[in-house]
């Protein structure tokens, strides 16, 4: 195990059309006034410091980010720590979400929903 290590634990994904509204063909979903395409998915999981040391700002050369492959985009991201109510995710562009971790203590986690 490395002294500093962050692990993403996938909780579950919900395909909003297939899992929730698929049996109701006349139902539409809007996001910020626009109709959402049929492949909308809610991703849930946890970012956990599984290393042996606290991770501080000086360890980061650039922010931790999730970047999507071609053909996909983030609509919104929400990441919060149970120790504070500060929002820790920022959409940099439609394909990239960056995380502001600051001091990320051993076994501390952030709940991730997008």
The total number of structural domains that make up the chain: 1
Q: How far is residue 77's CA from residue 97's CA, in Å, rounded to a whole number? A: 7
Domain holding 30, by residue range, is 6-113
Residue 79 belongs to a domain: yes
pTM of the model: 0.74
What is 39-75 written as a DSSP string? T-EEEEEEEEE-SSS-B-GGG-SS-EEEEPPTT---S
Q: Which residue has the tokens 């049996």?
A: 23
pLDDT of residue 11 exceeding 80: yes
Q: What is the pLDDT of residues 33-81, one digit of tens each?
A: 888 777 788 888 888 999 999 988 888 788 888 898 888 888 888 887 7
Integer CA distances (angstroms), 112 to 27, 29, 30, 68, 72, in order: 27, 22, 22, 15, 18
Q: How far is residue 98's CA from residue 109's CA, in Å, rounded to a whole number? A: 16
pLDDT of residue 1 exceeding 60: no
Integer CA distances (angstroms), 39 to 13, 16, 24, 29, in order: 12, 8, 15, 11
For residue 19, the SS3 value is helix
Residue 1 belongs to a domain: no
């Amino acid at each position: 195990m490395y002294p500093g290590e962050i692990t993403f634990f996938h909780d579950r994904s919900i395909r909003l059309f297939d899992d929730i509204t698929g049996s109701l063909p006349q139902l539409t979903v809007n996001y910020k006034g626009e109709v959402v395409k049929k492949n909308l998915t809610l991703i849930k999981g946890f970012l956990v410091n599984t290393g042996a040391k606290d991770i501080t700002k000086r360890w980061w050369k650039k922010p931790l980010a999730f970047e999507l492959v071609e053909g996909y985009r983030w609509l919104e991201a929400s990441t919060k720590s149970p120790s504070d109510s500060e929002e820790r995710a920022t959409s940099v562009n439609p394909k990239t979400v960056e995380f502001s971790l600051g001091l990320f203590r051993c076994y501390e986690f952030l709940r991730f929903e997008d």
